[in-house]
Amino acid sequence: MRQQRLAAILSLDVVGFSRMMQSDSPGLLKTLNIVFRKIVTPAVTAHNGRVVKLLGDGALIEFSAAIEALDCAVAIQRALRSPDLPFSHAEPIRLRAGIHVGDVVVEAEDVFGDAVNIAARLQAAAEPGGILISRIVRDLAGSYITARLRREGMHSYKGIEQPIEVLSVDLSDLGTQEKRRRISEAQEIKFCTTKDKVRLAWTTNGDGPPIVKAPNWISHLQLDWRSPGFAPMTTSIANRYSLIRFDARGNGLSDWEVAEISADRFVDDLEAVFDAAGIDRAPIISFSQGAAIAAAFAARQPERVSAIVMIGGYAKGRAKRGNEHDARLAEAFRAMMRAGWDDDYPSLRDLLAQTIVPGASEEDRRRFAEDMREMISPENLGRYREVLDNMDIMELLGEVRAPCLVAHCRHDRMQPLKEGQRLAAALPNARFVSYDSPNHLVPENDPAWPLLERNVQNFLAEHS
């Protein structure tokens, strides 16, 4: 019998299903059976939903209330982000989720209609491990919503006549966000002086054995706690250790008017902070070009470095990779940065944020782009890029005796995967780990984040 009713529709899809089926169909199907039996079905039951149908690569689920559909999707995605899953597979199993509320036509046990089509379109547009909902879901769920939502703007989808206002679900912990804000406000900023009389701002967050963060390309001690790329890892480390962070010369709260900006001086900066904090020996956490600075410091003073974590790192800048295209791109990028750093929206900084953390929400990327403007002047930025593009520490890597964890995202658009592999291959005592992610720095809403956090924490526990 044909019926029509209002329903909330949740559409789920397995990311990379066809590719994984080609490489290991029995293993994938066995794993998906566990995913649906132990994660999806219990969540649907707990939220009063009905599985309309299971597809080979996903599911269509009906709910009578918008909040039940939203809470169910959040429960499923959070469960799949756990580092302790009830299954193992060669690749992470990730789902995309889309939710819409509208009229559906019911025939037997199946449902059809615009609500189903729109939910499917939203699902297809969601990030791996993410959830997209239409505005009507938010409006109907109202004050019952406990998840944090991010506005993603108006979007048009194939087969849907009218544009739809879309929101994404932020799966990060609200308590963690508040803790970061309090840390930023309460931290004590100290200053030390380098060999060439440059004043550096530094601080310590957390308690426990010391971990020192190497300088990344630009930073700001009071703003990095809300950076979608840096805050997750620095918060995680500060929860267990004393994390020493600082702003390198020429940016952040350190001196901007400096005579020299160079790779050697960045290593001097790291040494000055080790001395100021009274640290004889400690691990180093590094991001991007900070990996090269940490390695150079470890080669210079091996007795002071017990281990190095390198995330999105590289040993050779774009101008030194023997690729004419990269060299031209580096030159053009430097020119654009000098000319457009202070531009208002839309700006080069927005493009940069999109490249560094494409998986972060639009709101977080926009704030990151605004914060970058406060971190460095266009003049110093040009000087930074000149140094980083021409940096080459390959000859030093063989002298690094400290164990290194080299972590890199496979689809990193800022620094290609091969640069991380090259870095790891040249280090005598390195472990290389890659993650299925497009991010250069990994935000919390990336499904790869729990895996990265677990690997880093386990590595530090061995060597701190």
**pLDDT tier at 36, thresholds 50, 70, 90:** very high
Q: In degrees, to the nearest 5, what angle opens at C-alpha 297 toward C-alphas 279 and 451?
A: 80
Angle between helix 449-463 and helix 231-238 axes, rounded to 10 deg: 40
Does 166 lie in the same domain as 181? no
Does 180 lie in the same domain as 151? no
Identify the helix (H) or strand (E) that includes residue 155: strand 148-155
61: Cβ–Cβ under 8 A, 6 or more apart, which residues?
Answer: 9, 10, 11, 12, 44, 49, 50, 51, 52, 69, 72
pLDDT of residue 166: 93
- pLDDT of residue 191 exceeding 80: yes
**pLDDT tier at 64, thresholds 50, 70, 90:** very high
Q: Read off the amino acid at residue 68.
A: E
pLDDT of residue 185: 79
CA distances from 141 to 146, 269, 385 (A): 10, 51, 47
What tokens were used for 328? 């031209």
Angle between helix 362-375 and helix 348-356 axes, rounded to 10 deg: 120
Instruction: Give the domain CATH number at 62.
Output: 3.30.70.1230
- For the segment 110-134, the average pLDDT, to the nearest whole number, is 91
436: Cβ–Cβ under 8 A, 6 or more apart, which residues?
Answer: 16, 91, 92, 94, 128, 409, 410, 411, 448
- The per-residue DSSP string of 295-337 comes to HHHHHH-GGGEEEEEEES--SB-GGGSS-HHHHHHHHHHHHHH
Residue entry with tokens 């990994």: 442
**pLDDT tier at 315, thresholds 50, 70, 90:** very high
- For the segment 438-446, the average pLDDT, to the nearest whole number, is 90
d(CA 130, CA 97): 6
d(CA 135, CA 353): 26
Closest-CA residue to 77 (of 197, 187, 168, 8): 168
d(CA 100, CA 134): 6
Helix (H, G, I), strand (E, B) or coil at 414: coil
Does 162 lie in the same domain as 251? no
Does 454 lie in the same domain as 441? yes
Does 180 lie in the same domain as 166? no
**pLDDT tier at 143, thresholds 50, 70, 90:** confident
- The per-residue DSSP string of 83-146 comes to SS-S---SS---EEEEEEEEEEEEETTEEESHHHHHHHHHHHHSPTT-EEEEHHHHHHHGGG--
- pLDDT of residue 263 exceeding 90: yes
Q: Which of 147, 170, 193 is the last residue of a domain?
A: 170
Does 104 lie in the same domain as 219? no
Q: In degrees, to the nearest 5, what angle opens at C-alpha 388 toward C-alphas 386 and 390?
A: 70
The tally of domains found in the chain comes to 2
Identify the helix (H) or strand (E) that includes residue 417: helix 417-426
Instruction: Give the domain CATH number at 295.
Output: 3.40.50.1820
Burial of 195 (0-12, 13-18, 19+ CB in 10 A): exposed
Does 198 lie in the same domain as 154? no
Phi/psi at 242 (5° precision): -90, 110
d(CA 310, CA 452): 11
For 219-287, list the strands marked E by DSSP.
242-247, 282-287
Does 192 lie in the same domain as 80? no
Q: Which of 117, 150, 170 is the last residue of a domain?
A: 170
Does 163 lie in the same domain as 204? no
pLDDT of residue 346: 63
Q: In terms of residue numbers, what domain contains 138? A: 2-170
Does 108 lie in the same domain as 220? no
Phi/psi at 103 (5° precision): -70, 140
d(CA 382, CA 62): 54
Average pLDDT across the chain, whole number: 91
Does 242 lie in the same domain as 105? no
What tokens were used for 324? 């004419």
Report if pTM > 0.75. yes
Q: Which of 120, 135, 170 is the last residue of a domain?
A: 170
Does 230 lie in the same domain as 91? no
- pLDDT of residue 1 exceeding 70: no
Residues 387-410 have pLDDT tens digits of: 999 999 999 999 999 999 999 999
d(CA 306, CA 329): 36
Helix (H, G, I), strand (E, B) or coil at 283: strand
Residues 215-246 have pLDDT tens digits of: 988 999 999 998 999 999 999 999 899 999 99
